[in-house]
Structure 1
Amino acid sequence: MPGNAETTEEFGVLQSKRNATRYQILVEIAERQPAVNQREIADAIGITAQAVSDYLRDLIEQGYVEKHGRGRYEVTKEGVDWLISKTEELRGFITHVSEDVIGQVEIETAIAATDLSEGETVTVTMREGILHAMAGDTGDATAVAVTDAEAGEDVGITDFEGVVDYDLGSVTAVSVPHVRDGGSHAVDPDRIAGLADDHDLVAVAGVEALVAARTADVEPDVRFATASAVREAATRGLDVLLLATATRLSAHTDELRDGNVSYEVVDAAEE
């Protein structure tokens, strides 16, 4: 692609082997100074000791390195400034590669809703919080399968176009008292059972919360719910009932608030 050469030219340290080698040698000197063993530098970067000597002579002439006697060198302020500038260029290049290049070929995983072949265009939907891919391009969001898959298997997809259409979920949180304050005995099991019927997923955090769910004859989908896991479930379109021991609830609500996830805390106390 024509843009690639122009992009690379922005990162001077990569323009030539000479610049790259100078950069490596300056880094090695900075790490080892003032006592610098040219053979160790040569071995570290894969060139000859004579080449290191030649580069050192050049770096001294340019004012990037000072020599203080046999085997004693120091990177100057000018040399440090050059290293910093080239490091910033490399950092920018890494960002470009990770975000603009690799990001363009990102592969997601979905469940194949139909038999699929590598290279086939697929329609992507969200069901039960999981991406599904089916043959054809009839939906709002499409992608390309990068692996073969039979229906029900996992399939890699890339080259996304459009937006997967689904509603964000929400979280209903129930604070279950610590055992010293009554624990699961302080929670109305009928209230818990009714709430569970209205949600896609039941998650518990803490022993008291687990017992409260089981007392209500509700077996949780997630027994060791972390704040990030509950947040992700909601962002994937699931309505989550969270039973959390009182000491753990604030960590969950903080995570939900930071992630802009809709939630409410309800009272399920035993009357």
Structure 2
Amino acid sequence: MVDVLDNKRAATRFRILVQIAERQPAVSQGEIAEEVGVTSQAVSEYIRELVDDGLVEKEGRSRYRVTNEGVDWLFRAADDVRRFADHVTGDVLGAMSEAAYIATDDIEEGETVSLFVEDGLLHASPGEEGPATGVATTDAEAGTDVGVTSFEGVMDLEPGSVTVLQVPTVRAGGSRAIDESTVVEHCADADRVVAAGVEAVVACRQAGIDPVVTFAAGEVAADGAERGLHVTAVATTDEVGRVTDRLRDAGVSYEVLEE
């Protein structure tokens, strides 16, 4: 692990390498020094070390380029910074913030509540039996929203998945080219159904399926899977790539069914 937050020197090394990557190949040590907040001499010494370590290649006077090894190092260092930022915003600040939950029963302000996810939504119930708890900041009747803070523990949440069902384009037969029974088979047990493309929307309607959204299907499917839902995305073949790109970016599990 490349911990650029371990000390000031490591952080400065990281920032200087980023500056070189942004400015390459014509690199002004004076501009970098001003940006980073160190002397030009210090920048020169850092660059010399980066060259010695194989992270930067010197191409001529004041001309430098980040090597492949340097790019890899930047990626690893940036990941460390991101993980630390996620820890601060999620674990530290998250425990200090307030969030809205659906009350399963009547709750009083100041009461300890158990937290869980149901049907993709955050719920709170009186008591502290669950693996994740918080403290109610408002009174709430059952079925209404309640503010919660002082979070402890981690909610149990099994990740969901997405099944992508392809529908031919209109040139290839469109909704007429897919059996209604096929659509029903893959949508009946899904927690949510989304559709992308006119042919896909029509195929759903003909099968008696009402998609929750007919645009931004990939984003919604990914969000649902992250909330533990099993989603079927019915997509016209020329929309499948857009849907799977969003799923891949979100890192959720998905399967594309062949036509």
Q: TM-score, normalised by structure 2?
A: 0.63
Partner of 2:190: 199
User: 1:109 is matched with which residue: 93, 100, 106?
Assistant: 100
Partner of 1:239: 230
Per-residue CA deviations over 1:33-54 (Å, capped at 9, x if unaligned) read: xxxxxxxxxxxxxxxxxxxxxx
Mapped to 1, the partners of 2:212 and 2:240 lie a distance apart of 18
Q: Shift of residue 150 of structure 1?
A: 1.0
Counterparts of residues 3-22 of structure 1 (less than 5 Å): none
- What is the identity percentage for the equivalent residue pairs of Structure 1 and Structure 2? 46
Q: Shift of residue 250 of structure 1?
A: 0.9
Q: Shift of residue 116 of structure 1?
A: 1.3
Per-residue CA deviations over 1:38-76 (Å, capped at 9, x if unaligned) read: xxxxxxxxxxxxxxxxxxxxxxxxxxxxxxxxxxxxxxx
Count of aligned pairs between the two proteins = 183
Tell me, what secondary structure is at the counterpart of 2:247? helix
Mapped to 1, the partners of 2:256 and 2:97 lie a distance apart of 37
Q: Which letter does structure 2 place at the counterpart of 1:124?
A: L
Q: Does structure 1 residue 172 correspond to structure 2 residue 160? A: no
Mapped to 2, the partners of 1:173 and 1:197 lie a distance apart of 14
Contact 2:95 2:152 in 1 (8 A): no
Q: Shift of residue 84 of structure 1?
A: 5.5
Q: Shift of residue 133 of structure 1?
A: 0.2
Per-residue CA deviations over 1:101-154 (Å, capped at 9, x if unaligned) read: 744422222111111122211001111011110111011111111222111111
Contact 2:94 2:151 in 1 (8 A): no
Counterparts of residues 203-242 of structure 1 (less than 5 Å): 203-242=194-233
Q: Shift of residue 204 of structure 1?
A: 0.8
Mapped to 2, the partners of 1:156 and 1:248 lie a distance apart of 39
Q: Shift of residue 222 of structure 1?
A: 2.5
Q: TM-score, normalised by structure 1?
A: 0.61
Tell me, what secondary structure is at the counterpart of 1:224? coil
Q: Which letter does structure 1 place at the counterpart of 2:156?
A: D
Runs of 4+ in 1 over 6 A off after TM superposition: none
Q: Structure 1 unaligned runs (5+)? A: 1-9, 11-76, 87-94
Q: Which letter does structure 1 place at the counterpart of 2:154?
A: V
Counterparts of residues 15-164 of structure 1 (less than 5 Å): 81=34, 85=37, 99=89, 102-164=93-155
Q: Sort the Cα spacing of 1:254 and 1:84 in 2 relative to 1 into closer, same or farther, 3 A.
A: same
Partner of 2:247: 256
Task: Give the structure with higher Rg (CA).
Answer: 1
Mapped to 2, the partners of 1:211 and 1:217 lie a distance apart of 10
Q: Structure 2 unaligned runs (5+)? A: 1-7, 9-29, 39-84
Per-residue CA deviations over 1:184-228 (Å, capped at 9, x if unaligned) read: 111111011111112111111121111000111112222334322
